[in-house]
């Protein structure tokens, strides 16, 4: 009888689910960090339509990124050759990036005529209530109006809830400048989380994720699946048959 009562309680409240609720929050924490990282890498690698040398790409990126930041005085930059150093001080940018503070370096190259490669590195970069130590290689391409980046990333730091995140993996980002929306697909692994697979995760500026699923495989062999629908809560279910919701830190 007690077991029959516990399952409905678990559906109604994350607190009743113990480890499953922790893993659901950890999965969403990983997604929040990934979307922040994707927004930053998209902003810094948007020169895919620019012609010229790597030095030209760095100069064009410096001008464009400065124009996209608010207030205009929040960002200082230095470009040497094909490397631009960005120093953010409480900046707000595109793709839902808010309260950015820290130093980021971006080194530009062109491995082929239709690909822009950017090596992005930062330590202690703060954005959207997360703190990131980031090393990412971004290969950006464009087909029509759609821009796409293949990203190989090593990231550590803390997420919006204050949980430690340490992971590496490959994922794909597409972004739309007109709507300031980003879509994520890929898999990362970490010491905290065995693996997190993101499919169709879509987030637009000042909104909660409108779609997507995350499958989080924990260290104890359990799987937690999160589903996003644009609301301020994500539904979760486990491989053990339990379910619930987790409150998201998103929106305006």
Q: Domain limits at 133?
A: 7-247
**pLDDT attached to residue 2:** 25
Instruction: Name the domain count of the chain.
Output: 1
pLDDT in tens, 7-50: 222 322 333 344 566 777 777 777 778 788 888 888 888 887 77
Decide if 205 is inside a domain.
yes
Closest alpha carbon to 148 in 125, 171, 164: 171
Whole-angstrom Cα distance, residue 86 to residue 107? 11
Q: How far apart are CA 35 and CA 182, in angstroms?
A: 8
**Residue 2 belongs to a domain:** no
**252 is a domain residue:** no
The ranges of the chain with pLDDT < 50 are 1-18, 193
For the segment 1-13, what is each residue's pLDDT rounded down to a tens digit?
A: 323 222 222 322 3
pTM for this predicted structure? 0.79
Is residue 53 situated within a structural domain?
Answer: yes
């Amino acid at each position: 009888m007690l077991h029959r009562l516990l399952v409905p309680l678990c559906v109604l409240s994350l607190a009743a689910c113990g480890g499953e609720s922790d893993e659901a929050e950890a999965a969403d924490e990983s997604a929040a960090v990934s979307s922040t990282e994707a927004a930053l890498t998209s902003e810094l690698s948007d020169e895919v339509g620019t012609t010229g040398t790597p030095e030209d790409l760095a100069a064009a990126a410096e001008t464009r990124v400065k124009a996209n930041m608010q207030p205009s005085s929040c960002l200082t930059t230095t470009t040497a050759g094909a490397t631009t150093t960005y120093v953010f001080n409480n900046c707000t940018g595109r793709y839902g990036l808010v309260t950015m503070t820290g130093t980021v370096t971006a080194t530009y190259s062109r491995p082929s005529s239709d690909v822009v490669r950017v090596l992005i590195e930062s330590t202690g970069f703060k954005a959207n209530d997360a703190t990131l130590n980031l090393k990412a290689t971004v290969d950006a391409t464009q087909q029509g109006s759609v821009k796409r980046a293949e990203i190989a990333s090593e990231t550590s730091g803390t997420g919006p809830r204050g949980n430690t995140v340490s992971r590496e993996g490959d994922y794909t980002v597409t972004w739309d400048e007109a709507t300031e929306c980003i879509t994520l697909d890929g898999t990362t692994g970490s010491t905290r989380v065995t693996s997190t697979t993101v499919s169709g995760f879509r987030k637009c500026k000042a909104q909660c994720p409108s779609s997507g699923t995350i499958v989080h495989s924990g260290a104890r062999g359990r799987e937690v699946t999160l589903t996003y629908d644009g609301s301020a809560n994500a539904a979760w279910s486990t491989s053990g048959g339990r379910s619930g919701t987790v409150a998201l830190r998103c929106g305006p």
